[in-house]
A and B are shown apart, each in its own frame.
Chain A
Amino acid sequence: MSAGLLSSEGAAGSSRESATREAFSAFTAGPGRPDAVRAAEDAPTRIRRWTEGYAPRSGLADELVGPDGFLRGAYPRVLERLARLEEREIAARFLAAERHIRDAGISYRVYGDQREHPWPLGSLPLVIDAADWAELSAGIVQRAGLMERIVADIYGPGRLVAEGLLPAGVVAGSPEYLRPVHGMTPPGGRWLPVYAADVGRGPDGRWRVLADRTQAPSGLGYALENRMVLARAFPDLFADLHVERLPAFFQAFRAGLAAACERSDPRICLLTSGPYSSTYVEQAALARYLGFLLVEGDDLVVRDGLLHVRTVAGLKRADAVWRRIDADYLDPLELRADSRLGVPGLLEVLRRGGVVTGNMPGSGVVESAALSPYLPGIARALLGEELRLRGPRTWWCGDPSGLAHTLDHLDALTLRPAATAVRGPERDAILAPLAFGAARERALAALHERAFDWVAQEPAPLSTMPTWQDGGLVARPFVMRVFAAGTPEGWRVLPSAFCRVAEREDGDPSEMRAGIRSADVWVLSDTPVDAPLLVHTSAPRIRRIAGHLPARAADNLFWLGRYLERAEAVIRLVQAHLGGFGEAITADPCAAEDAPTARRIRALLKEWHCVEDADLPTAALAQEALSGRAAYGSALNHVLEARRLTSSLRERLPAEAWRSLADLRDTLVFSEVFAPTEAQLRGRAERALGHLSALTGLGHENMNHGAGWRFADMGRRLERAINTCGFAASFCAETASADDLGVMLALVDSQIAYGARYLAGVSRDAVCDMGVLDPYNPRSAAFQIEAIVAHLDVLPALAADGLPEPHRRHAQTLATTFRTAEAGTIDGEALDDLASDLECLADGIARRYFPNGPDALRPEKLVGLA
């Protein structure tokens, strides 16, 4: 990781904090009103003050105020309830919510940007009453079913095209029309286990669909996170207002996927493009919440016509895949040949019915903007019903009448690509207004030659909802993504949504980016919602982490353990140099920079690449080893590596781990202008060790002691054993001085134990025995190897032939060496041998369990031929 990431993360953090302050300053310091007056206010006065400046733009529908000027829908209820709280308290609750977002690491990326931005949860939820929601919901159910039937027809009988209800060019021109999918029947029967639509209100106040999302809609996880955050902040409001709960939807969705699988206890994977995906954090959250395995393409492999996950127990069948990567990247054999994200052969598995997939590849074809004019006719033909939810009026210019209308009304229409660019800034690029200038000429030229590449649409300004600004409410444009899941009992709509609202009046909230916030959506039931306590309903009822640990996760956890332990060893070395401990046995040993012991510490720091120059003054050397960016072995660089790994392990680690790691990183970063003193550095080192113990404690106490925990612990123990052998080789030589031995005891954190055991001062063999061979000392090398053997004994074997696998034999041999060795015979050479033997064991473990082990092969494309 580069320095850039760190500083930019810092920058993103501070800009978020200032945004937070702006967003919530409304509650604490309105213009020109002393707090004393406020405190005495009653709820109606407060509401009047909040809404007095509220002015939605005329001609646009608004959530808060109806055309008659009165508060609409459920808002009177909500404001009345909210206004019972003092503004100071509301502000405090929102700040707590923001803090939770930061601590839990809820974040997103903007497409094309490497940074993680903290999740911007807006202050006020969007509130919808039961009747309004019922109407929207019925429209969504109809539309979801319609879309699924259109997809099925396009890839199946082709009746819609043959009967003239849908022009062939609309389908063929969509980049999401995937020809290899033609003729497939989706295993389990569903093309769209998830359907989503972006909706807003038309000028008449009726809901309308701005875009259909059928490819791999994002947002479900953020809707869930928004709810969890607000449910913590306002548990009382949720109960009083009868806000509809979410868990039942997720249970139904999971049950729907599971029911489609052949096996009764299916292994369901969430296929991600990895930690650099713009919505990776939500994917990890969903995987954790739903109990799906979070996998990347490399983790999956096709064998014998079925899909498998690489796990530490070998290949295990994957029954279903919920994909969050675009379909074109799913299979380099039949789709995009240059894709590194997919699984070669996946489409063949689908063709043979071997894996349930949501959404089926090719489902994105109905996202095409050119489909819209044909939907009412298709709805009549396929469903015998009128379309309940309309979109803005649209004309496909490949249709002669559509083109004629467009040319006649060019000034009143917006023009956009029919086959939307799949993502990026060009998505939904709108080429309007066209009234003047070169744009009009270009548009006319485009319409002349390849008119079928374009659709024209009547302008559809977004309807507005209330958000906080400057002590009152203001109307801001929003888009709300509503989700439906296909379940065995039919379509089920999430009674909430993923809402995005612009901070400014002219913002476009169709994508998450700067200036756009998200908001929770509260659907208010007319009757109390049957859930005893909100805290319970939001807690994951359906968590069920699947049995076998994916090989990639094992690899990452193992290295997470190693990096954290290495960071700890570096910090302890620095601490020894700074003389922060060791007083129990000897006098402060290392104050003088050229004392022999100090020189040995410096040599080791150099050997470990913690510093580039071993002759710096003590404070500078310590700072470099702790927080330098140039030398790759500094404690900070190890912590940053650990953080990088953690970001792909989010669904497996306790949420607090993310925060502890951030604290650890912050402790190691020196932002002061003046160089820190030795005393300050000592303080930092101590605090850093404190955070590391917190992380260790979290691992032991808050992580399920399954295979994942074992790999993290093995990594840590293997690294500790290697480091301890290295310490002993430096500070426990035959000629070691009392200072050296004191440092050795300090490094293995055993001064007190030593003092209690030996009353007669330090002796080389006794120190060596305690640090290296003593199986009862949790810091000794011998203790580590015993723990590793114990871990390996319970990890799964590949073959049931009863023979120990090579890496286990190796571990046993090493353990025997430690068990039978005597301190007197363990010299420097023996210690070096043990350290390299331990490295070999690490390789053996990697070879057996990890996808990127020393012998790993990557799939390579066959080179082409003309």
Chain B
Amino acid sequence: MIYTLRHLTTYRYARTVRYARCTLRLRPRDGGGQQVLESALTLTPTPKSRHERRDFFGLDTVSLVIDAPHRDFSVEAVSRVLVERPPPPPPGSGAAWEAVRESALAQPSLGPDGPAHFLFASRRVPLEPAVTAYARASFSSGRSAYDAARELMQRIREDFRFDSKATTVSTPLAEAFRLKAGVCQDFAHVMIAGLRGLGLPAAYVSGYLRTRPPPGRPRLRGADASHAWVALWCGPDMRWIDFDPTNDCVVRDDHIVVARGRDYGDVAPIDGIVSASGAQKLAVEVDVIPEGEAAQA
């Protein structure tokens, strides 16, 4: 499947900003069943300097400095991506979760995909005994890590309520777990915390999800959103498998991966500092358009 992705972010500041420095993480990832065919950024105002760099986890980032006074800042990222992934492995695949835990520690690698990075608490994913206990219920002795993770994903989907008002981008994991509510980011963080609590390497994946307009209705412009899910390292053979606890599915061609990191903090699409002393207003529009289907106004 080929997708056209459009991600428009607009900041409006209450007072003039004279200097801004930010990092963009908006280019989808190449590899792992994905190929980026085109990718372009439109920035207003035009930055004074623009510097591209591949970060530790293999993500292409763009760093900007804007030194012209401005009240609005907008970033539009448009990409075309080919997604072609094999079907998910059948149930029962892969090694037992205890064996996965051991082999994760034995991998002699600190490369970006190495499991060692994803074993430990990170800033937004502290290890909470309650979350670990919740996850443990699916991890009976000797069970395949892949099966157990699928069950955990399914339980999160059942036990948690999708509610975009319940949490914000800065709600702590323990709070979302207590509320049993939140958005994709919260569900992903909960699942990661559970897996890591058991000693398994779990990563946070950001990207997009294909949505289907109601039958007979056109796709609305800007109606999609960025998405987040979980990757679990299932052993040296199966390696990373992506699980989407928001939708209870193993990832295939409906998901487009932008970045993989330890938690949201590693993959935030836009991060930055502005010299300002006033409120800021943020608006985001996302379109995920499968090839052959046109966006409507």
A residues whose Cβ falls under 8 Å from a Cβ of B: 154, 158, 161-164, 167-169, 171-173, 179-180, 182, 302, 332-334, 336-337, 344-345, 348, 398, 400, 419, 449-453, 857-866
The minimal Cβ–Cβ distance linking B274 to chain A, given in whole angstroms, is: 5
A865/B119 in contact, CB under 8 A: no
A–B pairs, 16, beta carbons within 8 Å: A158-B109, A161-B109, A164-B108, A172-B119, A172-B120, A180-B55, A333-B21, A345-B21, A398-B105, A858-B277, A859-B274, A860-B273, A860-B276, A862-B273, A864-B268, A866-B228
**Assembly CA distance A851 to B284 (angstroms):** 34
Pick from B63, B109, B284: contact of A865, CB below 8 A: B284
Contacts known (A857-B275, A862-B271); A179 close to B56, Cβ less than 8 A = yes
The minimal Cβ–Cβ distance linking B23 to chain A, given in whole angstroms, is: 6
Residues of A within 8 A of B21 (CB): 302, 333, 344-345
Answer yes or no: B114 CB below 8 A from chain A CBs: yes
A167, A171, A337, A862: residue with the most chain B Cβ atoms closer than 10 Å: A862
Residues of B within 8 A of A179 (CB): 56-57, 117
Residues of A within 8 A of B55 (CB): 180
A169/B116 in contact, CB under 8 A: yes
B residues whose Cβ falls under 8 Å from a Cβ of A: 9, 11, 18-19, 21-23, 51, 55-57, 63, 102, 105, 107-111, 114, 116-117, 119-120, 123, 127, 132, 169-170, 183-185, 197-199, 225-226, 228, 265, 268-277, 280, 282, 284
Residues of B within 8 A of A154 (CB): 110
A180/B56 in contact, CB under 8 A: yes
Residues of A within 8 A of B57 (CB): 179
User: Between A and B, how many residue pairs show CB distances below 8 Å?
Assistant: 121
B274/A860 in contact, CB under 8 A: yes
Residues of B within 8 A of A169 (CB): 105, 116, 119
Residues of A within 8 A of B114 (CB): 168, 172
Residues of A within 8 A of B56 (CB): 179-180, 182
B185/A866 in contact, CB under 8 A: yes
Pick from B11, B123, B225, B273: contact of A859, CB below 8 A: B273
Shortest Cβ distance from A163 into B: residue: B108
**Assembly CA distance A865 to B110 (angstroms):** 29
The minimal Cβ–Cβ distance linking B272 to chain A, given in whole angstroms, is: 4
B110/A863 in contact, CB under 8 A: no
The minimal Cβ–Cβ distance linking B160 to chain A, given in whole angstroms, is: 16
Shortest Cβ distance from A182 into B: residue: B56
Residues of B within 8 A of A332 (CB): 273
The minimal Cβ–Cβ distance linking A337 to chain B, given in whole angstroms, is: 7
Shortest Cβ distance from B277 into A: residue: A857
Q: Which 10 pairs of residues, A with B, have the shortest CB-CB distance? A: A172-B116, A168-B116, A179-B56, A864-B169, A857-B275, A862-B272, A344-B273, A859-B273, A450-B199, A172-B117
B119/A452 in contact, CB under 8 A: yes
A865/B185 in contact, CB under 8 A: no
Residues of A within 8 A of B268 (CB): 864-865
Residues of A within 8 A of B228 (CB): 866
A173/B22 in contact, CB under 8 A: no
A168/B110 in contact, CB under 8 A: yes
**Assembly CA distance A334 to B275 (angstroms):** 17
Contacts known (A168-B109, A865-B169); A452 close to B276, Cβ less than 8 A = no
Shortest Cβ distance from B63 into A: residue: A348
**Assembly CA distance A348 to B50 (angstroms):** 12
Shortest Cβ distance from A453 into B: residue: B120
**Assembly CA distance A168 to B268 (angstroms):** 26
**Assembly CA distance A337 to B197 (angstroms):** 25
Residues of A within 8 A of B225 (CB): 866
**Assembly CA distance A452 to B196 (angstroms):** 12
Residues of B within 8 A of A453 (CB): 120
The minimal Cβ–Cβ distance linking B110 to chain A, given in whole angstroms, is: 5
Residues of B within 8 A of A858 (CB): 275, 277
A164, A172, A345: residue with the most chain B Cβ atoms closer than 10 Å: A172
Residues of B within 8 A of A173 (CB): 116, 119-120
Contacts known (A449-B132, A865-B169); A162 close to B109, Cβ less than 8 A = yes
**Assembly CA distance A169 to B106 (angstroms):** 8
Residues of A within 8 A of B183 (CB): 866
The minimal Cβ–Cβ distance linking B207 to chain A, given in whole angstroms, is: 13
The minimal Cβ–Cβ distance linking A308 to chain B, given in whole angstroms, is: 13
**Assembly CA distance A398 to B199 (angstroms):** 10
Shortest Cβ distance from B182 into A: residue: A866
Residues of A within 8 A of B22 (CB): 333, 862
B11/A862 in contact, CB under 8 A: yes
Contacts known (A859-B275, A863-B282, A865-B269); A348 close to B197, Cβ less than 8 A = no
